[in-house]
Structure 1
Amino acid sequence: MFRRRKREQPEQQVVEAAVQRQARESGPWDADEPHPQGDRVDLGGMRISVSEGFDVQIAVAGDQPIGVVVIHDDSALQLHAFAAPKRGGLWDEVRTKLVASVKEAGGTVEVTEGPFGPELAGNIPAEGGTQAVRYLGVDGPRWFLRAVISGKAALDSAVAEPLEAVIRDVVVVRGEEPMAPEEPILLRIPGERQAVPAPPEAGQNPFRRGPEITETR
């Protein structure tokens, strides 16, 4: 009896894990897990859902699409997806590096609890003063999604809700090809959708450089 229970235990854990994944009410989602279907913009390594009133732009470094910029009223959301190790996430490590980068740049930052877990709220140097910004991170299966919210949404939780809803409905398509940890998951530009230069620092390795932000006017 003891041996039989011991053999069955891993199977039971697998079933329980599958049930927990299906029970999640919101994302970001992995492309291989059950998730709500909807009308999302297919960007290859990322699928996003936006409503009327949102402006979606593709951030490029050279000729390579590397991220998404979603603008809503006076706020902006940056989204970048990266490969992650099979075991363990990146957000704890990335968060520590971002704190150091913000302070080194002369800004201020503190760890707060947000809708996706620990996040960073800070003020970074900008033209004419400082810019409020929020850094959010979500660890998925073999991927890490980083979000940066700026503008009014960085200070007002009610204003931030539409952008947070975009994050909750993101589907990350990691793929099966080998990728090094922290390597960007590349995107593609659908149809004639506008491509814009990558925001400051976005073309560099964001894990080793200072804070990045999209300036909205």
Structure 2
Amino acid sequence: MMFSRGGSGRHARDDRGGRAERPARGSARVPQPPAERPTGPYDVAEAPSGVERLDLGSLQIPAVPDVEIRVQANPDGAVQQVVLVNGENALQIGVFAAPRSEGIWDEVRDEIRKSLFSEGVAAEETDGEYGVELRARVRTADGLTDLRFLGIDGPRWMVRGVFQGPAATDPSRAGVLVECLHGLVVDRGQEAKPVREPLPLRLPKEASDQVHEQQAEPEPAPPAPPTNGAGPGQGPRRRPSPRPR
């Protein structure tokens, strides 16, 4: 299912005025309070009001012009994957449970790097808007593909993003997809969850009802094969033999 909003978008600016300082290796970053961030992702308790968003439960995605929201969901409405698309760029977004006292992106990033290395893929750490990012070039069915992984630690949650396309190697080309990150809202909830467990995402009720309606519609019957005038279980009709004169 796809959600999109047309119009002409504007390119986002980095209001921080510089790169985030890289933490020492092996030290976990304490999540920065959302109130101190110049941009999102925001915790739901700190989210600005008056913004149109697609509510997927644990994630609320702002409606940004020229960004298409592609959602892959199960028949019961549970969302398995969220991808934002703008031109040649795509941004896959996931949100996970984290402890209250410390962030988990450093550990997650290290595991991603080791997993890529085990598959023969070298990954490079670089500084980005939200801290240390990971870049890699992987081989897919479409050929070599550049990926850029980033993580944002929040209060008891972590947002992970994966850029693909020109934005994977040049962050300045991410365009309006950055606005989606800046306006993202996380609703962690109060339920206890294991660390790193994906937070539940669900389609809005209207979209879920639409999916059920589509599934309930009977599929059109395939066209009957040509029978040359014969009925079921019969062979083709034979022309009568000429009667002898």
Q: TM-score, normalised by structure 2?
A: 0.66
Q: Distance in 2 between matches of 1:22 and 1:139?
A: 13
The partner residue of 1:153 within 164, 167, 176 is: 167
* Root-mean-square deviation over aligned CA pairs: 2.1
Distance 2:69 2:100 in 1: 31
Q: What amino acid is the match of 1:29? A: Y
Q: Of residues 35, 38, 55 in structure 2, which corresponds to 1:22?
A: 35
Q: Secondary structure at the match of 1:164?
A: helix
Give the distance between the partners of 1:72 and 1:22, measured in 2 at CA: 29
1:142 and 2:124 aligned: no
Aligned to 1:38: 51
Q: Which ranges in structure 1 are unaligned for 5 or more consecutive residues?
A: 1-19, 196-217
Deviation at 1:92, TM superposition (A): 0.6
**Alignment partner, residue 113 of structure 2:** 99
What is the identity, as a one-letter code, of the residue corresponding to 2:124? E
Identity of aligned residues (%): 35
Aligned counterparts of 1:136 and 1:82: Cα–Cα separation in 2: 13
Number of the residue aligned with 2:180: 166
Counting helix residues as a fraction of each chain, which structure ranks higher?
A: 1
Please list every run of 5 or more consecutive structure 2 residues that lacks an aligned counterpart in the other structure: 1-32, 212-245
Rounded Cα–Cα distance in structure 2 between residues aligned with 1:128 and 1:34: 39
Cα distance in 2, alignment partners of residues 21 and 29 from structure 1: 6
Letter in structure 2 aligned against 1:26: T
Question: Counterpart of 2:92?
Answer: 78
**CA-to-partner distance for each residue in 1:133-168, whole Å, 9 max, x for gaps?**
000000100001100000122123232132122111
Match of 1:200 in 2: none
Q: Deviations over 1:164-196 (max 9, x none)?
A: 22111100000011111111111111233898x
SS of residue paired to 1:25: coil
Please tell me whether the aligned partners of residues 69 and 77 of structure 1 are also in contact (alpha carbons under 8 angstroms): yes
Q: Contact (CA 8 Å) 2:64, 2:176: kept in 1 or not?
A: no
Q: Which runs of 4+ in 1 moved over 6 A?
A: none
User: Normalized per residue, which structure has more strand?
Assistant: 1
SS at match of 1:184: coil
Kept after mapping to 1: 8 A contact 2:34/2:40: no
Q: How many residues align?
A: 176
Larger Rg: 2
User: For the Cα contact (< 8 Å) 1:105–1:125, is it kept in 2?
Assistant: no
Structure 1 residue 61 displacement after superposition: 6.0
